[in-house]
Amino acid sequence: MKALFLTPQFPYPPNKGTSLRNYNLIRHMATRHDIHLLTFVEDREQTTGDNPMQSLCTAIHAVLAPPKRSRLGRLHSTLLSSLPDMALRLRSTAFSQRLGLLLERDTFDIVMVEGIEMAPYIDVVLGASRRPAAIIFDEHNAEYLLQRRAFTTDLRSMAKWPAAFYSLVQWQKLRPYERRACQQATAMAAVSESDRKAILSLDPALKVMVVSNGIDVDFFQAGGKSDGRPIHAVPPVGASFRRRTPLLVFVGTMDYRPNVDAMVWFCREVLPLVRREIPAAQLQIVGRNPTAAVRKAAGENVEIVGGVDDVRPYICGADVYVVPMRIGGGVRFKVLEAMACGVPVVSTGMGAEGIEVVDGEHLLLAEESADFAAKVLRLLGDKPLARALTEKARERAISLYDWRLIAPKLEELWQKCAREGA
């Protein structure tokens, strides 16, 4: 089949959740199908040079992403627009025109709409003279649910009431907007069964199939070189950070609100309890664009690494990998990566949501700060338990979350929709 992917950013390098999902789905579907890509880019040079997308895609079409909206602009839309922020974030006449030309010039069996930010372009596809056999709306998160959770979390702190108000407004706007986008599509892909149920609560008649997030098992197993990038033997550290065990690690894009909340809470409420028992305990925060809130919460025992080309050395160098998520949704790549690397994990239930794991068998779960600290300390002091958890977690990652097992589910959805469309 011939498929056109619409993505909010160029999928390579796969260094954040959206690009990880898009890159790996394209990589595996390209072995059997004719893949075309229309994507936003920050710089036109992103699509040139030596990168695997050139060989995976028959054609790549790029449009410059619109400038990031100012706080004043977002406040204005929050108060006056009927649309949620995510419907306005990537609004582009140039992208609509390029998409319209592609649909006039060529015939596609499938159009993949990757995430809520790309939902405005469903209308362009529906208005084309050569409509595809099927439009698949790939929901990376149940976005209205994410904002509802952010509202309930921020409401607990008076200092975060402005953020809670923002989330309340977005939640109320997203619910009807997301429902309409889902209804316009031929079918939906959800990343987990819990997200599937959240989407069906918008409209029980929707056609939703679970196509989970996955893991490149070869790449994350020690010594793996799945796309040509070798793993380093020793985790690099900053000049101001002396490697002392035990080491706790968190990986995530650090201007993403759920990750910011997780690290601020962990640094203020959990890490001091760990260090009360083990003063030498250290934390590395690995990820692009750390915010001022993260830097302010971090103490001298915390290294803010920033963005890195390869997260494996940091994950593999951890004694315990922490996932203290309190808001958000979907399936966390960070948990799957730690599982595949064989590193013990302590997570909140929300952090491990959507992943088929059992507390005490594959990882340890905790919700409150004292319990979270106690679980971290337990793993640091009980190496046999840590080994048992990591062995079963790695088996689970390999047996359920290898992209080679997940991509056929998307192919099944394509074929079913194409048959029904025909």
Asked if the model's pLDDT at residue 50 lies above 60, the reply is: yes
For residue 236, name the pLDDT band (cuts at 50, 70, 90). very low
Tell me whether domains 2-214+403-421 and 217-400 share a fold: yes
Tokens encoding 387: 């080994």
Asked if the model's pLDDT at residue 241 lies above 50, the reply is: no
Asked if the model's pLDDT at residue 347 lies above 50, the reply is: yes
pLDDT at residue 280, as a whole number? 93
The CATH number of the structural domain formed by 2-214+403-421 is: 3.40.50.2000
Write out pLDDT tens, residues 179-214. 999 999 999 999 999 999 999 999 999 999 999 999
pLDDT at residue 79, as a whole number? 79
With beta carbons less than 8 A apart as the criterion, state whether 296 and 263 touch. no
Asked if the model's pLDDT at residue 131 lies above 50, the reply is: yes
Asked if the model's pLDDT at residue 227 lies above 50, the reply is: no
CA distances for 135 relative to 2, 6, 143, 144, 242, angstroms: 12, 11, 19, 21, 52
The CATH architecture to which 217-400 belongs is 3-Layer(aba) Sandwich (3.40)
Asked if the model's pLDDT at residue 234 lies above 50, the reply is: no
Asked if the model's pLDDT at residue 230 lies above 60, the reply is: no
DSSP annotation string for 183-231: HHSSEEEESSHHHHHHHHTT-TT--EEE----B-HHHHSTT--TTS-PP
pLDDT at residue 44, as a whole number? 82
* 74, β-bridge pairs: none
Torsion sign (Cα): 213, 102, 67, 146: negative
Provide, rounded to the nearest whole percent, the portion of the chain with pLDDT above 90.
76
Tokens encoding 357: 């794991």
Give the Cα-Cα-Cα angle 356, 352, 386 (nearest 5 degrees).
Answer: 85
Can you give the residue ranges of every domain in the chain? 2-214+403-421, 217-400
